[in-house]
Structures are given as C-alpha cells and as structure tokens.
Amino acid sequence: MSDTTTTSLLDAITVPAAEGRAIPDAATGETMGHAPVHDVEHLNRAVAAARAAQPAWAALGHAERSAILHRTADEIDAHAEELARIIAQEQGKPLNGPGARFEAGGCAAWIRNAADTALDPEVVFEAPGTRSELHYGPLGVVGAIGPWNWPAMIAIWQIAPALRMGNTVVSKPSEYTPLSVLAVAELMNRHLPEGVLTVVSGGRDVGEGIAAHPDIDKVMFTGSTKTGRAIVKSSAGNLARLTLEMGGNDPGIILPGTDVKAIAENLFWGVFINTGQTCAALKRLYVHDSQYEEVVRTLADMAASMPMGPGLDESSVLGPLSTKQQFDIVSSLVEDARSRGARIVTGGEAAPELGPHFYRATVVADIDDGARLVDEEQFGPAIPVIRYTDVDDAVARANASDQGLGASVWGSDVAEAVAVAQRIEAGTVWINQHGTLNPDVPFGGVKGSGYGMEFGREGLKAVSAPKVITV
C-alpha cells in the first residue's frame, strides 16, 4: 500500500514510463501519467485472489460491510479534488458544472446509498403451517467492465452494490481512462481487505477473459452494443449472470404548447452533459412544427454561449471529445448531415485553437430520420432537431430505433406528457428533464440497450443470488 501521507493520488496509481502505457490529457494530448499494463495472467491472479477473499468478506455481514463502505466513501470525499483533477485531465470533462467534481462527489454518494439500502428477506407466501421467504445472498466474484465517459462513477455503480452484497470484484476500466478507476480503487482499498477489489488495467483480451472466466459468477458491462453482444456469447460457457447497459439513441419529444423558456436549461443539459458523451443523453429531438424554430434558436443560442475549454480550466463548461476516435465519429456524422442539406445552425466544426479533440457545440435543423446523425448514436456535442406535425408519428419515429435506454417528453401539460411517455419503448422516460439519475431509482434499458437493472433495491438484487426458504 502506498504512503498516503506523502504520495499524491496520481503518483500512487501511476507506474514508471518504462513499465506502463502513456495516458494523455484529453484536452492537450500531453502525457499525464502511465497506467500499468495488465494481461490475462494478471486477470487470473486477480480472480483467484477475489475467489479466496470472498467467503470472509461475505461472512462479515451486511452491517460490517456497510460500515467499511462508508469509510471508503469518506476516503473519496477526503481526496475528492485530487480525484476530480485526474478525471478532468484523463476524460476531459470540466471540473465545474455537471463535470469532474460532480463525478467525484457522485462516487461517494453512490457508495453510501448502496451501503444504506435495505434488502431484507421478503415473505412471498404465508398460510397456516407454512411460510416462504425470499432471501438474497452473494453470487461470488463479479467482473465489472466499464466505459470511458464517466469512468469513476460508472465503476462505482458496479463495484459498490456488488461489495455491499458480499461479492468480491475484479474491475476492468476502459483502456482510455484507467487512471480514474485506479484512483477510486486506490482510495477504497485503503479500507477494504486484500483481494476484495482489484483493478486489472488491460486491453480487449482482459475484457474477453472476464466474460468467459470460469470463476466469475456475474459480469456487469457498460459500453457499446457490439461489445455487449460479444460478452453474451463469451459468457455462455460459464453461465455468468449479466447486467448489460449498452447505450442508446435517446429521443426527446417536445409537445405543442410547451413553455420553451421554462424547459430550456433542462433541455440543454439533457443534450450536452459531458459534451454529449453520456449513454443516457438526449441524442435526437422531435419538435412540433408550431414551436420548431423557437426551440432550434433557443438551443443554438445556449450552445454558442457555453464556454468550452480544457477540463482543468475553472471557466470551462464544455470540454473536448475524449478520444480522436470519438472526434472523428462526431465530425463524420455532422458532415453527412451537411451533405444532405441539413442546416447547421451553430457549431458544425472543430475548435483546433482549444486543442486536438475539441468540437464546437452543434445544433442541426431541417434534418430527418434516415440521416446518420439521427439514426446513429453520435455520443458527442451535436443534436439533430427533427420537425413533426402529428404526435402519433413522433412516437412511432422515437420507437423506430433498435435501442431503448432513455427517452423524454416535454410539455406544459404533465398529464399529457405522461400519457405519451407510456407509449415510448425505453427503460426510463423522463418528463421535462433528461438523463437525471437517482441512486434509489432503478435504471436499465430495453431492446438493443441491454438488460438488467442498476441502482436501489433492484440493483442490489441484480448482484445477488436469490434463495427461497420455505418453513
């Protein structure tokens, strides 16, 4: 264990350049540190250690495990600024607003929620002379595979409930953002028993190894649908339980008569949180013809005025795309829209004066279904705004995607909005907001966005082995 009194958090998790892989600052491209390079052999050792540590961890009981988790949350709070700066550099999100400090604070909040959520035995049947109870115990070893967009917080969404229920965890972060997850684990492991939580900082071979490993009982994955399908195939041999959150092309529908000024701020952040790099961000917006231009202009004005810059700049509100790959995807989708005659109201171009992966916040109008920017998940700061005249048609178009993570309905008549929400095929439908998550409220997708629930009681059940005891 590192000397926590003299060593910075970044120094505690990085390795010498000769032994590791350079991790760039997302805004500048300059090396911020070196991550260890782990392979399948490291994974096998981690799983063996997790398997050995699991019985004793489970035997501590819920109260003691929860107390330890609270201490890990306190540790994260004590180093929240250091953690936030690592996230801001590595992933690119600004420190302020719904950014890196928000993510660091969210890690501690989600740990405490998992520690405090009750999951008592349920009486499912009772009659004279007999009673059946549903109990929940640990599964064993959980393999957690995380993404690069909210690396620390999504890792905690996987780790915290698994540990709370008595499982041990082997976590594999994205190759693009390993330092954020290594930092969270470093802080937590100052209080956890050895072997209970291990981060394996490897590549695709490690992810494939987790999915197929005979000693892993549960796989939790957040990432692309393509990779999720591969995990399903790989897990067939060991029959590991799965929770898959595979992103989405989230639609929003603005109903006629909506007070646009009242929803403007929530609408903007529903689209542009983390510079659009959020699974449950609003990705395509359907607006009634009667208010189309007002919505387009409102969004465009806000997008053009939001300060964009490096994550460590205190004045930044929007940051860069995390990787060149994602920058190229966003650029390609916007150029395709332009070639189809769509109207680029604001943005639509790189901002090279800010750094290599900056793309200006973009609002695209006069575009329709069939354009790549509408049909494909852009995962960046570019929103297509699609005109409609009939609500039934808007619902049908919203449901046409093979993904179904989140959706939103916007309107001044909440009852009408809820009625429309009932018809949308998505795991979560928000009213007059989009992408807001609550650790007490279950979250998960349908269709190509995956299956299984996270958060709250349902999230604890997802990392548990149910057992019926009939007396």
Query: Which helix H or strand E contains 358, and what residues bound it?
Result: none
Here the tokens at position 460 are: 């604890």
Residue with tokens 């290599």: 356
Catalytic hit among 245, 293, 294, 376? 245
Here the tokens at position 332 are: 């390609």
- Within 8 A by CB and 6+ apart from 186, the residues are 2, 9, 12, 13
- What does the alpha-carbon distance between residue 142 and residue 11 come to, in Å, rounded to a whole number? 28
Residue 245 annotated to the active site: yes
Nearest to 155 by CA among 171, 177, 166, 170: 171
Catalytic hit among 75, 279, 377, 454? 279
DSSP secondary structure letters along 362-401: EEEEEE-BTBHHHHS---SSEEEEEEES-HHHHHHHHTTS
Report helix, strand or coil for 168: strand
Strand partners, 250: 282
Report helix, strand or coil for 454: strand
Sign of CA dihedral 362, 174, 117, 84: negative
Distance of CA 223 to the CA centre of its chain: 8
CB 93 within 8 A of CB 275: yes
Other C-beta atoms closer than 10 Å to the C-beta of 312 total 17
Strand partners, 367: 386
Which residues does the annotation mark as catalytic? 245, 279
